């Protein structure tokens, strides 16, 4: 029982650090930047050291996501949770909105997205077949 006053002090100190030092900005802004991963780290070669075409060739050879895809994922997922952290806000942050949840639904954009995915698929899987034939 000798340590109980020290433990109590430690908990009070931790509470102070969480509320006043670390979490003050998050609490006042009601905006939390969460760690969702860094998709650009999935790229094998570094952008600063190698040309884009070399990176694309190696990514395709190892069946890894292309740099364009990784950049799109980074842009898409680099957003904070706004408001109180509860199931509804986390779901808005984590899940992609359905097409019918937006007033900006654009069929042409959906078609463009399909064409882009098709192009990436053909680049990755059909071009190597042409080289071997």
Positive/negative CA dihedral, 77, 81, 86, 88: negative
Who has greater pLDDT, 103 or 76?
76
pLDDT at 127: 65
19 CB-near residues (< 8 Å, 6+ apart): 27
pLDDT tens, residue by residue, 67-100: 888 888 787 777 787 877 788 888 877 777 776 6
pLDDT at 100: 63
Task: Give the whole-angstrom CA distance, residue 54 versus residue 68.
Answer: 14
pLDDT at 81: 78
Residue 22: which pLDDT band, with cuts at 50, 70 and 90?
confident
Q: Token match 């895809």: residue?
A: 69
pLDDT mean across residues, the chain? 79
Task: Give the whole-angstrom CA distance, residue 58 versus residue 49.
Answer: 14
**pLDDT above 70 for 131:** no
Q: What is the mean pLDDT of residues 14-21?
A: 88
Task: Give the whole-angstrom CA distance, residue 33 versus residue 80.
Answer: 4
Do the beta carbons of residue 73 and residue 22 sit within 8 Å? Answer: no
- Cβ atoms within 10 Å, residue 43: 19
Residue 108: which pLDDT band, with cuts at 50, 70 and 90?
confident
Positive/negative CA dihedral, 118, 119, 121, 122: positive
Do the beta carbons of residue 30 and residue 83 sit within 8 Å? Answer: yes
pLDDT tens, residue by residue, 24-50: 888 788 887 776 667 777 788 888 889
84: DSSP letter: S
Phi, psi of 53 (to 5 degrees): -65, -35
pLDDT at 2: 59
């Amino acid at each position: 029982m000798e340590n109980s006053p020290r433990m109590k002090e430690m908990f009070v100190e931790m509470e102070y650090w969480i509320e006043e030092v670390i979490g003050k900005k998050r609490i006042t802004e009601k905006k939390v930047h969460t760690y969702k991963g860094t998709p650009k780290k999935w790229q094998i070669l570094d952008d600063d050291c190698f040309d884009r075409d070399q990176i694309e060739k190696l990514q395709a050879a190892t069946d890894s996501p292309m740099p364009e895809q990784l950049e799109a994922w980074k842009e898409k997922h680099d957003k904070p949770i706004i408001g109180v952290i509860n199931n509804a806000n986390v779901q808005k942050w984590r899940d992609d909105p359905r097409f019918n949840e937006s007033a900006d639904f654009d069929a042409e954009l959906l078609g463009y997205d399909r064409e882009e995915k098709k192009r990436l698929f053909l680049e990755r899987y059909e071009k190597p077949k042409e080289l071997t034939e």
